[in-house]
Amino acid sequence: MSSEHFKYPVFGQVDYFKYNNVASQLASHTPSPSHSQELGAKKRTVDPIVTGTSVIAIKYNGGVVMGADTLLSYGSLARFNNIERMKKFGKSTIIGAGGEYSDFQNLSQVLDDLVVDDGCTDDGTTLSTTEIWNYIARVMYNRRNKGDPYWNSLVVIGHDNNKSFLGKVDLVGTCYQDNFIASGYGSHIALPLLRKAYKEDMTLDEAKTLIQDCLRVLFYRDARSSRFIQLSIANADGLVITEQIALDTDKWDSGDSAKKKKNQDGRKKKNNYRNDSTQVILEYGHNVV
Protein backbone atom coordinates (compact mmCIF):
# COMPACT_ATOMS: atom_id res chain seq x y z
CA MET A 1 0.00 0.00 0.00
CA SER A 2 1.36 3.45 -0.86
CA SER A 3 2.63 5.66 1.95
CA GLU A 4 -0.07 8.27 1.32
CA HIS A 5 -2.60 5.98 3.01
CA PHE A 6 -0.70 5.91 6.31
CA LYS A 7 0.36 8.52 8.84
CA TYR A 8 3.90 7.94 10.08
CA PRO A 9 5.56 9.84 12.96
CA VAL A 10 8.02 12.45 11.78
CA PHE A 11 11.59 11.98 12.98
CA GLY A 12 12.03 13.82 16.25
CA GLN A 13 8.37 13.67 17.32
CA VAL A 14 9.05 10.81 19.74
CA ASP A 15 11.70 11.44 22.40
CA TYR A 16 13.01 7.96 23.20
CA PHE A 17 15.14 9.30 26.06
CA LYS A 18 12.11 10.32 28.14
CA TYR A 19 11.29 6.91 29.58
CA ASN A 20 8.38 8.14 31.67
CA ASN A 21 6.08 8.97 28.77
CA VAL A 22 7.60 7.07 25.86
CA ALA A 23 4.72 4.54 25.89
CA SER A 24 2.09 7.23 25.49
CA GLN A 25 4.15 8.91 22.77
CA LEU A 26 4.47 5.67 20.83
CA ALA A 27 0.74 4.99 21.15
CA SER A 28 -0.13 8.41 19.81
CA HIS A 29 2.23 8.05 16.84
CA THR A 30 1.49 4.47 15.82
CA PRO A 31 0.95 4.19 12.04
CA SER A 32 -2.75 3.82 11.24
CA PRO A 33 -4.79 3.68 8.01
CA SER A 34 -5.98 7.10 6.96
CA HIS A 35 -9.46 5.66 6.31
CA SER A 36 -9.84 4.04 9.74
CA GLN A 37 -12.94 4.30 11.93
CA GLU A 38 -11.17 6.81 14.20
CA LEU A 39 -10.77 9.22 11.29
CA GLY A 40 -14.46 9.39 10.54
CA ALA A 41 -14.99 6.43 8.19
CA LYS A 42 -18.47 4.89 8.29
CA LYS A 43 -19.34 1.21 8.00
CA ARG A 44 -22.86 0.23 6.99
CA THR A 45 -24.56 -2.68 5.27
CA VAL A 46 -25.81 -0.71 2.31
CA ASP A 47 -26.05 -3.72 0.02
CA PRO A 48 -26.15 -7.43 0.94
CA ILE A 49 -23.28 -9.41 -0.57
CA VAL A 50 -23.40 -13.03 0.68
CA THR A 51 -27.02 -13.95 1.35
CA GLY A 52 -29.28 -16.84 2.25
CA THR A 53 -32.85 -17.18 1.09
CA SER A 54 -36.07 -18.49 2.68
CA VAL A 55 -36.64 -19.94 6.14
CA ILE A 56 -39.86 -21.88 6.83
CA ALA A 57 -41.30 -22.98 10.18
CA ILE A 58 -44.56 -24.48 11.46
CA LYS A 59 -45.99 -25.53 14.80
CA TYR A 60 -47.16 -29.10 15.34
CA ASN A 61 -48.80 -30.88 18.24
CA GLY A 62 -45.92 -30.81 20.72
CA GLY A 63 -43.32 -28.49 19.24
CA VAL A 64 -42.04 -26.53 16.25
CA VAL A 65 -40.21 -27.56 13.07
CA MET A 66 -38.09 -25.17 11.02
CA GLY A 67 -36.32 -25.73 7.71
CA ALA A 68 -33.84 -23.87 5.51
CA ASP A 69 -31.40 -24.75 2.76
CA THR A 70 -27.63 -24.58 3.26
CA LEU A 71 -26.76 -22.34 0.31
CA LEU A 72 -25.22 -18.88 0.52
CA SER A 73 -25.21 -16.90 -2.71
CA TYR A 74 -22.55 -14.36 -3.66
CA GLY A 75 -24.82 -12.09 -5.64
CA SER A 76 -26.40 -14.55 -8.08
CA LEU A 77 -23.56 -17.08 -7.79
CA ALA A 78 -24.28 -20.21 -5.73
CA ARG A 79 -21.00 -19.82 -3.86
CA PHE A 80 -21.16 -21.61 -0.48
CA ASN A 81 -23.11 -24.87 -0.48
CA ASN A 82 -22.80 -26.22 3.06
CA ILE A 83 -23.44 -23.38 5.51
CA GLU A 84 -25.78 -23.72 8.50
CA ARG A 85 -28.28 -20.87 8.65
CA MET A 86 -29.84 -22.08 11.91
CA LYS A 87 -28.19 -21.78 15.30
CA LYS A 88 -29.00 -22.65 18.92
CA PHE A 89 -29.04 -19.99 21.61
CA GLY A 90 -29.40 -21.03 25.22
CA LYS A 91 -31.28 -24.17 26.15
CA SER A 92 -34.58 -23.56 24.38
CA THR A 93 -34.11 -21.33 21.31
CA ILE A 94 -33.12 -21.83 17.68
CA ILE A 95 -32.87 -18.95 15.19
CA GLY A 96 -32.96 -19.32 11.41
CA ALA A 97 -31.64 -16.45 9.31
CA GLY A 98 -32.12 -15.22 5.78
CA GLY A 99 -30.34 -12.25 4.24
CA GLU A 100 -26.77 -11.03 4.74
CA TYR A 101 -24.86 -13.79 6.51
CA SER A 102 -22.15 -11.57 7.99
CA ASP A 103 -24.84 -9.55 9.78
CA PHE A 104 -26.24 -12.77 11.24
CA GLN A 105 -22.75 -13.73 12.43
CA ASN A 106 -22.42 -10.36 14.17
CA LEU A 107 -25.86 -10.66 15.75
CA SER A 108 -25.00 -14.20 16.86
CA GLN A 109 -22.03 -12.84 18.81
CA VAL A 110 -24.31 -10.32 20.51
CA LEU A 111 -26.78 -13.06 21.47
CA ASP A 112 -24.03 -15.40 22.66
CA ASP A 113 -22.78 -12.65 24.96
CA LEU A 114 -26.33 -12.11 26.20
CA VAL A 115 -26.71 -15.80 27.05
CA VAL A 116 -23.32 -15.88 28.81
CA ASP A 117 -24.14 -12.77 30.86
CA ASP A 118 -27.47 -14.31 31.85
CA GLY A 119 -25.71 -17.49 32.95
CA CYS A 120 -23.19 -15.51 35.01
CA THR A 121 -26.07 -13.96 36.94
CA ASP A 122 -26.72 -17.45 38.37
CA ASP A 123 -30.19 -16.61 39.65
CA GLY A 124 -31.72 -20.00 38.87
CA THR A 125 -33.47 -18.87 35.68
CA THR A 126 -32.54 -18.75 32.00
CA LEU A 127 -33.63 -16.59 29.12
CA SER A 128 -36.83 -17.85 27.53
CA THR A 129 -37.42 -17.91 23.79
CA THR A 130 -39.93 -15.07 24.11
CA GLU A 131 -37.36 -12.91 25.91
CA ILE A 132 -34.70 -13.56 23.27
CA TRP A 133 -37.22 -12.79 20.51
CA ASN A 134 -38.16 -9.49 22.17
CA TYR A 135 -34.49 -8.60 22.65
CA ILE A 136 -33.77 -9.25 18.95
CA ALA A 137 -36.71 -7.04 17.94
CA ARG A 138 -35.33 -4.16 20.04
CA VAL A 139 -31.82 -4.62 18.63
CA MET A 140 -33.08 -4.69 15.04
CA TYR A 141 -35.21 -1.59 15.58
CA ASN A 142 -32.29 0.23 17.20
CA ARG A 143 -29.97 -0.57 14.29
CA ARG A 144 -32.65 0.51 11.84
CA ASN A 145 -32.92 3.90 13.59
CA LYS A 146 -29.16 4.36 13.24
CA GLY A 147 -29.40 3.75 9.50
CA ASP A 148 -27.24 0.65 9.86
CA PRO A 149 -29.65 -2.31 10.01
CA TYR A 150 -28.83 -5.96 10.34
CA TRP A 151 -29.88 -7.01 6.84
CA ASN A 152 -31.69 -10.14 8.00
CA SER A 153 -35.08 -11.75 8.29
CA LEU A 154 -35.03 -13.96 11.40
CA VAL A 155 -37.33 -16.82 12.38
CA VAL A 156 -37.23 -17.74 16.09
CA ILE A 157 -38.50 -21.07 17.44
CA GLY A 158 -38.39 -22.60 20.89
CA HIS A 159 -40.11 -24.68 23.52
CA ASP A 160 -40.12 -23.85 27.23
CA ASN A 161 -42.61 -24.09 30.08
CA ASN A 162 -44.46 -26.73 28.00
CA LYS A 163 -45.30 -24.11 25.37
CA SER A 164 -44.15 -23.88 21.78
CA PHE A 165 -43.01 -20.54 20.38
CA LEU A 166 -42.73 -19.35 16.78
CA GLY A 167 -41.98 -15.74 15.88
CA LYS A 168 -40.36 -13.59 13.22
CA VAL A 169 -38.32 -10.35 13.20
CA ASP A 170 -37.37 -8.42 10.06
CA LEU A 171 -34.59 -5.91 9.41
CA VAL A 172 -36.57 -2.89 10.66
CA GLY A 173 -37.66 -4.55 13.91
CA THR A 174 -41.17 -5.58 12.91
CA CYS A 175 -42.05 -8.68 14.91
CA TYR A 176 -45.00 -11.05 15.22
CA GLN A 177 -45.94 -14.59 16.23
CA ASP A 178 -47.94 -17.15 14.25
CA ASN A 179 -48.61 -20.86 13.84
CA PHE A 180 -46.58 -20.97 10.60
CA ILE A 181 -44.08 -18.52 9.11
CA ALA A 182 -42.11 -18.21 5.89
CA SER A 183 -39.48 -15.58 5.16
CA GLY A 184 -37.86 -14.35 1.98
CA TYR A 185 -39.21 -15.70 -1.31
CA GLY A 186 -41.00 -18.36 0.71
CA SER A 187 -43.47 -15.75 1.98
CA HIS A 188 -44.81 -15.61 -1.59
CA ILE A 189 -44.48 -19.24 -2.69
CA ALA A 190 -44.55 -21.43 0.44
CA LEU A 191 -46.98 -19.53 2.65
CA PRO A 192 -50.09 -20.53 0.63
CA LEU A 193 -49.02 -24.18 0.91
CA LEU A 194 -48.64 -23.82 4.68
CA ARG A 195 -52.07 -22.21 5.00
CA LYS A 196 -53.69 -25.03 3.07
CA ALA A 197 -52.02 -27.91 4.92
CA TYR A 198 -51.81 -26.58 8.50
CA LYS A 199 -53.84 -28.19 11.27
CA GLU A 200 -53.46 -27.92 15.04
CA ASP A 201 -53.14 -31.66 15.66
CA MET A 202 -50.39 -32.11 13.06
CA THR A 203 -47.80 -34.74 13.98
CA LEU A 204 -44.04 -34.30 13.84
CA ASP A 205 -43.69 -36.46 10.73
CA GLU A 206 -46.45 -34.52 8.96
CA ALA A 207 -44.78 -31.22 9.83
CA LYS A 208 -41.38 -32.40 8.59
CA THR A 209 -42.91 -33.68 5.35
CA LEU A 210 -44.72 -30.39 4.79
CA ILE A 211 -41.55 -28.34 5.38
CA GLN A 212 -39.64 -30.51 2.92
CA ASP A 213 -42.40 -30.19 0.32
CA CYS A 214 -42.30 -26.39 0.65
CA LEU A 215 -38.51 -26.31 0.32
CA ARG A 216 -38.76 -28.58 -2.73
CA VAL A 217 -41.16 -26.14 -4.41
CA LEU A 218 -38.79 -23.29 -3.56
CA PHE A 219 -35.93 -25.23 -5.16
CA TYR A 220 -37.96 -25.35 -8.37
CA ARG A 221 -39.04 -21.69 -8.22
CA ASP A 222 -36.34 -19.74 -6.36
CA ALA A 223 -33.03 -19.28 -8.19
CA ARG A 224 -31.20 -18.64 -4.89
CA SER A 225 -32.25 -21.89 -3.22
CA SER A 226 -30.70 -25.35 -3.01
CA ARG A 227 -31.87 -28.96 -2.75
CA PHE A 228 -29.65 -29.47 0.31
CA ILE A 229 -31.50 -28.51 3.49
CA GLN A 230 -31.49 -28.79 7.27
CA LEU A 231 -34.38 -29.19 9.69
CA SER A 232 -34.47 -28.03 13.30
CA ILE A 233 -36.91 -29.23 15.94
CA ALA A 234 -37.82 -27.66 19.28
CA ASN A 235 -39.98 -29.70 21.64
CA ALA A 236 -40.11 -31.01 25.20
CA ASP A 237 -37.15 -33.31 24.48
CA GLY A 238 -34.88 -30.36 23.67
CA LEU A 239 -33.38 -28.82 20.55
CA VAL A 240 -32.24 -30.71 17.45
CA ILE A 241 -30.63 -29.46 14.25
CA THR A 242 -30.29 -32.25 11.70
CA GLU A 243 -27.40 -32.97 9.39
CA GLN A 244 -27.66 -31.89 5.77
CA ILE A 245 -30.52 -33.59 3.88
CA ALA A 246 -30.72 -33.94 0.09
CA LEU A 247 -34.25 -33.43 -1.18
CA ASP A 248 -35.67 -35.79 -3.79
CA THR A 249 -36.10 -33.37 -6.68
CA ASP A 250 -36.13 -35.89 -9.54
CA LYS A 251 -39.61 -34.87 -10.64
CA TRP A 252 -38.81 -33.65 -14.13
CA ASP A 253 -40.99 -36.40 -15.69
CA SER A 254 -44.12 -34.60 -14.51
CA GLY A 255 -44.59 -33.16 -18.00
CA ASP A 256 -44.53 -36.51 -19.80
CA SER A 257 -48.31 -36.77 -19.93
CA ALA A 258 -48.56 -33.34 -21.55
CA LYS A 259 -45.80 -34.29 -23.99
CA LYS A 260 -47.64 -37.50 -24.99
CA LYS A 261 -50.86 -35.58 -25.51
CA LYS A 262 -49.01 -33.06 -27.68
CA ASN A 263 -47.53 -35.86 -29.81
CA GLN A 264 -50.96 -37.46 -30.20
CA ASP A 265 -52.47 -34.13 -31.27
CA GLY A 266 -49.59 -33.65 -33.71
CA ARG A 267 -50.18 -37.06 -35.31
CA LYS A 268 -53.89 -36.30 -35.66
CA LYS A 269 -53.17 -33.00 -37.41
CA LYS A 270 -50.65 -34.71 -39.70
CA ASN A 271 -53.17 -37.42 -40.68
CA ASN A 272 -55.83 -34.79 -41.31
CA TYR A 273 -53.41 -32.88 -43.56
CA ARG A 274 -52.66 -36.05 -45.55
CA ASN A 275 -56.38 -36.76 -46.02
CA ASP A 276 -56.97 -33.18 -47.18
CA SER A 277 -54.04 -33.40 -49.63
CA THR A 278 -55.36 -36.68 -51.07
CA GLN A 279 -58.77 -35.11 -51.57
CA VAL A 280 -57.22 -32.16 -53.43
CA ILE A 281 -55.23 -34.50 -55.72
CA LEU A 282 -58.35 -36.50 -56.54
CA GLU A 283 -60.31 -33.39 -57.40
CA TYR A 284 -57.71 -31.40 -59.36
CA GLY A 285 -55.26 -34.09 -60.47
CA HIS A 286 -52.11 -32.38 -59.15
CA ASN A 287 -50.37 -31.59 -55.90
CA VAL A 288 -51.07 -28.32 -54.19
CA VAL A 289 -48.12 -26.80 -52.33
Verify whether residue 51 is a known catalytic residue. Answer: no
pLDDT, tens digit (0-9, with 9 covering 90-100), for 8-32: 444 444 454 554 554 554 444 444 4
pLDDT, tens digit (0-9, with 9 covering 90-100), for 176-211: 999 999 999 999 999 999 999 999 999 999 999 999
Which residue in the list 53, 70, 93, 130 is annotated as catalytic?
Answer: 53
What is the rounded distance in angstroms from the CA atom of residue 179 to the CA atom of residue 199? Answer: 9
pLDDT at 44: 64
What is the rounded distance in angstroms from the CA atom of residue 197 to the CA atom of residue 233? Answer: 19
What is the rounded distance in angstroms from the CA atom of residue 190 to the CA atom of residue 219? Answer: 11
- Rounded to the nearest 5 degrees, what angle is found at the Cα of 245, between the Cα atoms of 178 and 222? 60
Element (H, E) at 74: strand 72-74
Q: Which residues pair with 157 in a beta bridge?
A: 94, 166
pLDDT at 11: 43
Provide the CA 185 distance to its chain's centre, in angstroms.
Answer: 10
- Which residue ranges of the chain lie beneath pLDDT 70? 1-45, 251-259, 261-262, 265-289
In which region does residue 179 sit, left (phi positive, over 0), alpha (psi from -120 to 50) or beta (all else)?
Answer: alpha
pLDDT at 277: 53
pLDDT at 249: 85
What is the full DSSP assignment across 123-180? SS----HHHHHHHHHHHHHHHHHTT----EEEEEEEEETTEEEEEEE-TT--EEE-SE
pLDDT at 259: 67
pLDDT at 46: 72
Would the CA dihedral through 124, 126, 130, 131 be positive or negative? Answer: positive
Relative to beta strand 77-80, strand 72-74 is: antiparallel
